[in-house]
Structure 1
Amino acid sequence: MTAGGHPAPDGRDGALANEAEGYLLARAHHDQAHRDAEDLCARLPWLTTGQADDLTRHYVRQRTDLTRRMLRDTVRRAAELRREYESRYAALRRDLLKCHAVFASAVLACAAAVSTAVVLLAR
């Protein structure tokens, strides 16, 4: 934002907000994974403290990696869908413009025919 409360013209505020939101979401996910790992370790009372710490670390890392892969797949699929939808939109728009051109030509042809008929009948 600029001093007047308006967004910066180069869009840095949006990018910074997106980055901050991404960081906060990633941090929340990491914290939830850590809590889930601790809950798992609490159900395994025979684990030593070192084993529980090791299991927690591995669990959090594995879950973070899984989430990262899922997000990458989602972003990839979103990009594919975007391309498909843009392509379909362009085709629909092109077809609509063709229909309008045909309709406009038909209207002009009818107008010309009516005009010719009026001129011929007026003689």
Structure 2
Amino acid sequence: MTAMDERPVDAGALIHELEGHLLIEATRGEGRAQAGLFSQQFGWLTDSQRAEVEERFAEEYVALAQVSWRRTVQRGAELRGEYEEAYRVLRRRLVAGWVFGMGLLSATGVAVLSLVRP
């Protein structure tokens, strides 16, 4: 429970939020590192120009990473739906086969018992 509003704290949600912040910060660090490498090829830039190029590069790097993450999430949801549907179909087939098999076994049992009993 939180001290402020008496609602229970969802630990899973907090962990996911923390992971998201850590992922963004790691990506920003990668973006800054890549921006530094990128700007090195432009030796004629002034320090302020280099800083601006690096800042814009890093921003674009993070934006592209976020687009990629969204696409990955979307594709994951699509695949999940496809696999869940395939699972439902297979489960229906299994149940239908089991019901058919049990019916066949019962019918065979009844036929055998009718032959055995006079």
Q: Decide: shared fold, TM above 0.5.
A: yes
How many pairs does the alignment contain? 111
Q: Which residue of 2 aligns with 1:32?
A: 30
Q: Which residue of 2 aligns with 1:23?
A: 21
Partner Cα distance (1:16, 1:64) in 2 = 22
The range that moved more, 54-63 or 90-99, is: 54-63
Deviation at 1:109, TM superposition (A): 0.2
Match runs of 1:1-123 below 5 Å: 12-120=10-118
Partner Cα distance (1:40, 1:78) in 2 = 32
The structure-2 alpha-carbon separation of the partners of 1:86 and 1:11, relative to structure 1 and needing over 3 Å to count, comes to farther
Deviations 1:31-63 (A, max 9, x none): 111011112223322110111111011101111
Partner Cα distance (1:90, 1:50) in 2 = 60
The gaps in structure 2 that reach 5 residues or longer are 1-7
The letter for the 2-side match of 1:37 is A
Return the TM-score normalized by structure 1.
0.85
The structure-2 alpha-carbon separation of the partners of 1:11 and 1:119, relative to structure 1 and needing over 3 Å to count, comes to farther
Aligned partner of residue 65 in structure 1, secondary structure: helix
The range that moved more, 42-51 or 69-78, is: 42-51
Identity percentage over the alignment?
A: 32
The gaps in structure 1 that reach 5 residues or longer are 1-9
The letter for the 1-side match of 2:27 is H
Q: Which has the higher contact order (CA 8 A, sep 6+)?
A: 2
The letter for the 2-side match of 1:64 is V
